[in-house]
Structure 1
Amino acid sequence: MLPPGWGTARIGDLCQLINGRAFKPTDWAKSGLPIVRIQNLNDPSSSFNYFNKEVDPRFLIGKGELLFAWSGTPGTSFGAHIWSGGPAVLNQHIFRVLINERFLDKTYLKFALNHRVATFIEKAHGGVGLRHITKGKFEETDLPVPPLNEQRRIVAMLEALLTRSRRAKEALDAIQAQLERFRKSVLAAAFQGDLTHDWRAANPDVEPASKLLERLRYERRLGWESAELERLLAKGRKPSDDGWKERYDEPVQLDAPALPELPTGWSWAPLDLLLTALRNGIAAKPDRESGLPILRISAVRPMSVDLADVRYLPKSDEHFPNLLKEGDLLFTRYNGNAELVGSCAVVRGLRCPTVYPDKLIRGRVVEGHVLPELVAMAANCGASRAFINERSKSAAGQVGISGSDLKKVPIPIPPLAEQRVLVDRVNRAFAKAASIDEAVRSAVASIPRMDASIMTKAFRGELVPQEPTDEPASVLLQRIRTERDQPADNEPRPHPKRRRETRVA
C-alpha cells in the first residue's frame, strides 16, 4: 500500500535504455576513451581498456550519467551506478538510463533500481555463476514513484543514513585491524620476554632452558631407540649388537645467523630438536560424502585449527599413520597465499578420528619438555616467522616450504615453568581480543540488514513525511507520458499503441 500522492510505473515508461557497445579485444587500445565495464563500476580501482576510434554517440557517457549493469554474477555484478568519471565509452551488458530530470530525481531512481535488484536476478536468465536480464523483463518491472519533491527528500535522508552506516562500518573495520595489531604485539612481547619479565624476577633460580634442551636431546634419542627396537622385534629381527643405533638421525643444527638476544634463561633451538616426528599428509583426493574426515588446507590458520573444515575419504587402515592426536602441531606446507605458508597451530578438541592432507605437515613435540602451544606461537612471529618467509619458495602458482627447512626453524625456548606462564598469558590476552572481535563481527553483519531495512522504509513511504502541498505523482507521470508520446518536429507522429495504465495511489 503506497502513501497518498504516490504512484507506480514500469521502468520502461520512466526512462529510455541504451545498451553499451560490444567491444572485441582487437578493439582495445592503449590510449583513447576508457571503456567502462562492469568491474569499473563495482571497483573504481579496476584498470581500463581504451578505444581510440570513432564512437557512435549512443555509447558515449559523461560524468553524472545513470547506468545499470544487467549481466554477470548475481550479488556482485547487477546494479545501478552514477558514473563519476569523465568522458568514456560504454561496454555491453550495461544500460544507459536516460530520464528527464524535470520529472525524476536521478539518484532516487538509482536507489529504487538497486532496491529491486533481487527481483531482476529472479527474472534473469542463465546459470548460477553468470546471468542476465533481458531489456523487456527489465522494462516491465514496476517502481514506486513519489512526488518529485519527496523523491529529493528521500534521497537526502538515504544519503545521510547510508553515510552514517558506511562510517560505522569503517570504524568497525578499524577495530578489527587494531585487534590484529594487538595480537601481533602480544606475541612480540611474549618472545622478547616482556610478557613474563615479572615472573622471571620472582623466580630467579628456575632451571634454564639450556639444561632442559640437554635433557630433551637425550630423551629424544632414548625414545627413538625404544620405538626402533620395538619395530625390529615385531619383525623378528632381534639385534645382535648396537649397530642399529647408528641409524638415528641427530637433530639438525641451528642455521639462522644473527638471531636476536633472548632473556636470561632462554635458549634458541631448531624445531627438529623439539619434535619426535614430522610427517607429510595424505595425497589421496577426498571424494566421499561421508567417511574418514580429512582437513581442508583452509582448516589451518595461524594458531587456529578448524576441525569442522573437512572433506571425506573412504575409511582405510592405510591412513592410520596420519591420524591426528591432541597436541599435534600442523603446519601449512603449500598455499597460493605466501602469508599462509608455514602457518602453525595446535590440534585441540578432536571428537572423531581425523587425518590431514599432503599440503599440511604434522609435528609432535617431545612431551614433558616443550609445550606445543609455545611452538605454535613462536612459529607465527618474530625470527621464527622471518626464517619461514625466507625459506619459502614459489612454483607453479603455489608457495611452499620443505620439511627439511621447517626442521631448521629457530624457536625461542624459555624454561618449562615459564613456558606455562607465557602460554597462559598469551591465551588470556587472545581470549579478550576474540571476545571483542566476535562483538565487532556481529555488529558488522548487522549493517547490511539495517541498510536493507532503511531502503524498505524509503520505498514504502515511511522514511520521510509526506507534504500535502507536493504535486502528486499522477500529474508527474502524466507529464512523462505526454513528453514520451510527443514526437519531435521532424518526426512523424507514432501510431498509438496499447499500454498498461500506470497505477496511482
Structure 2
Amino acid sequence: MTSKLPEGWARATLGEIGRYLNGRGFKKSEWSTSGRPIIRIQNLTGSGSRFNYFEGDLAEEHTARPGDLLISWAATLGVYIWPGPEGAVNQHIFKVESFIDQHFHRYLVEYSLDHLSRNMHGSGMVHITRGRFDKTPVAIPPIAEQRRIVEALDDHLSRLDVAVSGLELSERRERLLADSLVARAVTGRLLVESDGLGSGIELRDKILAERSRRVSRRRATPVPPGAEFPAGIPDHWVVVSVDELTSAIEYGTSTKTGELEQESDVPVLRMGNLQSGSIDVASLKYLPATHEDVHKLLLADGDLLFNRTNSAELVGKSAVYHAALGPMTFASYLIRCQFVSGVEPEWVNLVINSPYGRKYVSAVASQQVGQANVNGKKLAAMPIPLPSTAEQRAILAELGLRRDRSKQLRQLTNQVKDRAVALRRSMLAAALSGKLAPQDSNDEPASVLMERIKVQQVPSKVRRTRSIALQGANKSSTYVKEELPL
C-alpha cells in the first residue's frame, strides 16, 4: 500500500475489517455418505473433488452457504467464494464475516496473503500466526468506492481468468496427448511408415539364440510372458517376456549407505532417484569405492533399474542408467536388468512405464503393510511387445521429437502463466492503492465506516445500549481474536 492514502480512504488491519471463524475438526467416525459435504482445503483449491459428509447438528459458524467467503490458512493458502452447496467448514479454513464489502474483502485478503508470502524467508507462510494475520495493515476506501473497485477488478480479472483457464485446458490436453503418444508408440501406431525396418519375430529368434550362449545354466530356459499383452500389436511384432530379453536380472545392495565422505565414494541409486522414467541425481547416498558391493554391482551403460517395493502408485517405476552420469551402483529395493544385443533398454523402459506396463504391475503386485511389491520373478514374466531393433530406434526417435515439442509448449505455457500471475498482482496493487477506479468526493469517508465497525466490536453489554447498524456493509457480529498459526 502507498504511504499516502487517496482522499476518503482510511488505514486499518485485516483483523479490524472482519470476523474469522475457524472451521471444525471432524473425526473420521463422524464421516458419512450423506448430509452436508465437509469442505476441506482440496475442495477449495481443486486438487480434490471427493467429499466426506456430516449428518449431525452444526453450529452456524461452521456452516458455509453459497456465496460465503472462505480462507484456507494451512499448507495451501488462498481465499475463495464458496459456490455451494451448503457445507460444513473443516478445520484450517476460516469462514469470514465481512464488515466491509465482501468481494472487496476477498481481493484485499488475496493481495495481502500474496504480499506476506513473498516477503517471508525459509519455509514461509507456516510461521505466520493468527496475530500477524490480524495485524496486517490494509487501506480501506469508502464503501461506494470499494464496489467500484470490485466492478473494475471483476471485469479485468475475469478476462485474465478466462485466458488462464484456456492455458490450463491446453496443459490437460497436452498431458492426455502425452499418454496417448506412449500408448501408440508401444502398440506400433506412432510411425506413419515402418516398412523395411525388419521383423520383431526374426529379432526374437536371434535374441534367444544369443541368450542361450550368454546366460547361466540356471536361466537357460527363459520364463515366458506371465500374461497376454493387453492391446493389439502389428503382425510383424511379437510379445516376449522381460526374461527373454535379458542376460541378467539381479537385486541391489542392502548395505547401509551414508553421506559423501571421500571424493572416491560411489553414489547408490535408490527408489527416489527414479522419477518420470528417468534418473534424478538430486539426492544421493554413497558407499566407499572399496566396498565389495560396489565392485559386484557397478552399473553399466544401458542397465534398466526397476523399483520393486514402494507405494501401490509408485511400485514398478523404472529408468535407464547411462554412463554419462558417472560410476554408480544401486540399492536393494531396485532390480537391475541387463539386455542382450538388439534390445534398446529405453524401449523396455517405455513399455514398463506405459499404461500397459502399469496395468501388469498393478495386477501382479503383492500388498504388504503399507507397501506393494513386485519381485524379480514377476518382473521377468512381464510381457513386452517387440519390434525390430531398427523400429525400436525409429519409434524412440519419433517419440523424442514429439516430446521435445511438447516440452517447448509447456515452457511457453508456464511463461505465459507466470506473466498472468504478475499481471493479476499488478492489477490488485493498482486497485488497492486507488489507481483503478475513480474517487468521488461525495462518497462517505472510510473513516466513518471504520468508526461504525469499531462501535460494532464493543462488548455486547455496551452494544445493547448503543444499537448502531453498519450502513451499506455486510452483516457483522462480535469479533473475537484468537492466536492460531497460519
Which of residues 208, 213, 222 in structure 1 aligns to 2:204?
Answer: 213
Counterparts of residues 401-412 of structure 1 (less than 5 Å)? 401-412=374-385
CA contact (8 A) 1:19 1:93 kept: no
Secondary structure of the residue that 1:331 maps to in structure 2?
strand
CA contact (8 A) 2:228 2:383 kept: no
1:153 paired with 2:148, answer yes
1:288 paired with 2:259, answer yes
1:254 paired with 2:225, answer yes
Q: Given residue 252 of structure 2, which amino acid in structure 1 is its aligned partner? A: G
Match of 1:113 in 2: 109
1:451 paired with 2:429, answer no
Distance, in Å, in 2 between the alignment partners of 1:384 and 1:90 is: 41
Match of 2:281 in 1: 308
Closer/same/farther in 2, CA of residues 96 and 263 from structure 1, 3 Å limit = closer
CA contact (8 A) 1:293 1:310 kept: no
Q: Given residue 184 of structure 1, which amino acid in structure 2 is its aligned partner? A: D
TM-score in terms of structure 1 length: 0.74
Which of residues 212, 215, 218 in structure 2 aligns to 1:224?
Answer: 215
Q: Percent identity?
A: 27
Deviation at 1:146, TM superposition (A): 1.4
Deviation at 1:319, TM superposition (A): 2.5
Kindly provide the CA deviation profile for residues 10-65 of structure 1, in whole angstroms up to 9, marking residues without a partner as x. 345444x3645876859958687777676766667542445428x5x666665544
Distance, in Å, in 2 between the alignment partners of 1:384 and 1:13 is: 57
Distance, in Å, in 1 between the alignment partners of 2:138 and 2:387 is: 68
Distance, in Å, in 2 between the alignment partners of 1:6 and 1:276 is: 78
Distance, in Å, in 1 between the alignment partners of 2:299 and 2:465 is: 81
Match of 1:171 in 2: 166
Secondary structure of the residue that 2:174 maps to in structure 1?
helix
Kindly provide the CA deviation profile for residues 365-386 of structure 1, in whole angstroms up to 9, marking residues without a partner as x. 112x222222222333375554
Distance, in Å, in 1 between the alignment partners of 2:434 and 2:395 is: 59
Greater RCO (Cα-Cα under 8 Å, separation 6 or more): 2
Match of 1:232 in 2: none
Which of residues 184, 190, 194 in structure 1 aligns to 2:185?
Answer: 190
Match of 1:353 in 2: 327
Match of 1:498 in 2: none
Kindly provide the CA deviation profile for residues 296-329 of structure 1, in whole angstroms up to 9, marking residues without a partner as x. 4243245x31332332223242223333332221
Deviation at 1:294, TM superposition (A): 3.0
Secondary structure of the residue that 2:338 maps to in structure 1?
strand
Counterparts of residues 29-40 of structure 1 (less than 5 Å)? none
Kindly provide the CA deviation profile for residues 232-255 of structure 1, in whole angstroms up to 9, marking residues without a partner as x. xxxxxxxxxxxxxx5453211233
CA contact (8 A) 2:227 2:383 kept: yes
Match of 1:431 in 2: 404
Deviation at 1:402, TM superposition (A): 1.6
Match of 1:199 in 2: 194
Deviation at 1:414, TM superposition (A): 2.0
1:461 paired with 2:434, answer yes
Which of residues 309, 312, 334 in structure 2 aligns to 1:334?
Answer: 309
CA contact (8 A) 1:66 1:96 kept: yes
Q: Given residue 117 of structure 1, which amino acid in structure 2 is its aligned partner? A: L
Q: Given residue 297 of structure 1, which amino acid in structure 2 is its aligned partner? A: M
Match of 2:476 in 1: none
Deviation at 1:460, TM superposition (A): 2.3
Closer/same/farther in 2, CA of residues 119 and 265 from structure 1, 3 Å limit = closer
Deviation at 1:108, TM superposition (A): 0.7
Moved more, 250-259 or 424-433: 250-259
Closer/same/farther in 2, CA of residues 426 and 452 from structure 1, 3 Å limit = same
Match of 2:13 in 1: 10
Distance, in Å, in 2 between the alignment partners of 1:481 and 1:386 is: 63
CA contact (8 A) 1:34 1:51 kept: no
Deviation at 1:404, TM superposition (A): 0.7
RMSD: 4.0
Q: Count matched residues.
A: 454
Instruction: Provide structure 1 residue ranges, at least 5 long, that are not aligned to the other structure.
Output: 226-245, 495-505
Distance, in Å, in 2 between the alignment partners of 1:198 and 1:32 is: 58
Q: Given residue 267 of structure 1, which amino acid in structure 2 is its aligned partner? A: V
Instruction: Provide structure 2 residue ranges, at least 5 long, that are not aligned to the other structure.
Output: 468-486
Closer/same/farther in 2, CA of residues 154 and 280 from structure 1, 3 Å limit = farther
Kindly provide the CA deviation profile for residues 388-421 of structure 1, in whole angstroms up to 9, marking residues without a partner as x. 3322233222223221111112222222333332
Match of 2:481 in 1: none
CA contact (8 A) 2:312 2:372 kept: yes
Distance, in Å, in 2 between the alignment partners of 1:86 and 1:60 is: 11
Q: Given residue 356 of structure 1, which amino acid in structure 2 is its aligned partner? A: F
1:266 paired with 2:271, answer no
TM-score in terms of structure 2 length: 0.77
Q: Given residue 143 of structure 1, which amino acid in structure 2 is its aligned partner? A: V
Secondary structure of the residue that 1:279 maps to in structure 2?
strand
Deviation at 1:263, TM superposition (A): 2.9
Distance, in Å, in 2 between the alignment partners of 1:445 and 1:79 is: 17
CA contact (8 A) 2:37 2:54 kept: yes
Q: Given residue 362 of structure 1, which amino acid in structure 2 is its aligned partner? A: R
Distance, in Å, in 2 between the alignment partners of 1:400 and 1:439 is: 39
Distance, in Å, in 1 between the alignment partners of 2:380 and 2:28 is: 52
Deviation at 1:432, TM superposition (A): 2.0
Match of 2:57 in 1: 52
Deviation at 1:115, TM superposition (A): 2.1
Closer/same/farther in 2, CA of residues 470 and 321 from structure 1, 3 Å limit = farther
